[in-house]
Structure 1
Amino acid sequence: MTVATTAGALPDLVRECLPGPGGCRLVTVDGWSGSGKSVLAEDLGRTVDAPVLSIEELYPGWEGLAAAIPLARAWIAEPLFHGRPARWWPWIWERDVRSADPRTQPCVPVVVLEGCGAGAAELRPFTSLAVRVDCPHEERERRLRARADWPGYAPHRARFLAQERRYFAGAPDPDVTVRT
């Protein structure tokens, strides 16, 4: 069952949720493009003193939403759940290749993973709290067009929206939903 809540209530929910056996609470912040998930995740990370990782670093290009989910599980969610550092190889969007240099995130009490796909069923066994950010379609589109990176995103918008639709058609319900 999904519970509607406010952004201000999230820190207490994070503190109350159970960590994995390795001591980390993985909090996922999922939502459609333009819903406000990055802003919410950054605010939450500052409030609970947690690093914020982006699943978008794992997308292997503009067609990569679905392909990023098993990478997030293997490289981030499972290791943190078991108390090991996360280690991933970010996608270099400008060169359209995977980096040869990994990034790492030590296992800490709370890690926030944000981005479309972060609340996927494959990640849920390793997630302490799954948050979905919700916002009306018209507002999401307005926000997207107002972003500084819109000129680079615009040519790919329709293609990425089709991936989002496929993903959300089968995505599990989150633990909580925040409307922005």
Structure 2
Amino acid sequence: MPSRSNDPVEQALRRGAAEVIEAVVAVAASNPVVLIDGRAGAGKTTLSRMVAANWPVAGRPQLIALDSLYPGWDGLDAGAERALHDILRPHARGLLSTWRRWDWEDEVEAEAYAVTPALGVILEGCGALNAASARLADVRVWVESPAPSRKRRALDRDGDGFRPHWDRWAAQEERHLQRDDPRALATLTVAIP
């Protein structure tokens, strides 16, 4: 994934995506599971999209963002549990499953999406990597980025929708880091400036 850009963030994301893709190839599975965790604004979504766009295994990966599963601004833990119950465990057992998207505007569950065990899964979002999910994943990624950079990117991306919830969400992230230690569970760390 060569880049002509001098942007250090883009270069780091490209290097990170190449490392994740190399790790997926090394797994030599037809339906690998990749978990990408990190704090808000770290670069998880961009990294996961880059990996999905260059997926090295036959068939397209099922790219699922925990943002679609969190049941609101206080839902980090609940979203991670929903991912484990509705996506990761059935996939590991070879079962077709479904998960429901959270409608942030109406604050209700919305449409359902199927997850087939025949295809790989990329699950990205804060809370994706914990002791239970780590046992079901082939590649486990922690995305690290300095707090000022993360906050700037997150608020540039989500603006006033996220701004009033930043501290509330950061407290949930901190609990996740203290309780689950996703950095230690990761098989790869991607550093984004």
Q: Which runs of 5+ in 2 are unaligned?
A: 1-14
Q: Which runs of 5+ in 1 are unaligned?
A: none
Query: 1:122: how far off?
Result: 2.0
* Superposition TM-score, scaled by structure 2 size: 0.83
Query: 1:18: how far off?
Result: 5.7
Residue matched to 2:5: none
Q: How do residues 1-180 of structure 1 correspond to structure 2 at under 5 angstroms?
A: 6-17=16-27, 19=29, 24-48=31-55, 49-99=60-110, 101-147=111-157, 149-172=158-181, 173=184, 174-180=186-192
- Report if aligned partners of 2:144, 2:191 keep a CA contact under 8 Å in 1: yes
Higher helix share: 2
Larger RCO, structure (CA 8 Å, separation 6 or more): 1
- Report if aligned partners of 2:62, 2:119 keep a CA contact under 8 Å in 1: no
| CA offset digits 1:91-143 (Å, max 9, x no partner) | 110001122x3211222342100011111222112111110111111111111
CA 1:95 to 1:35, structure 2 compared with 1: closer, same or farther past 3 Å? same
Matched residue SS, 1:102: strand
Aligned length: 171
Query: 1:171: how far off?
Result: 2.1
- Report if aligned partners of 1:35, 1:133 keep a CA contact under 8 Å in 2: yes
CA RMSD across the alignment: 1.6
Query: 1:53: how far off?
Result: 0.5
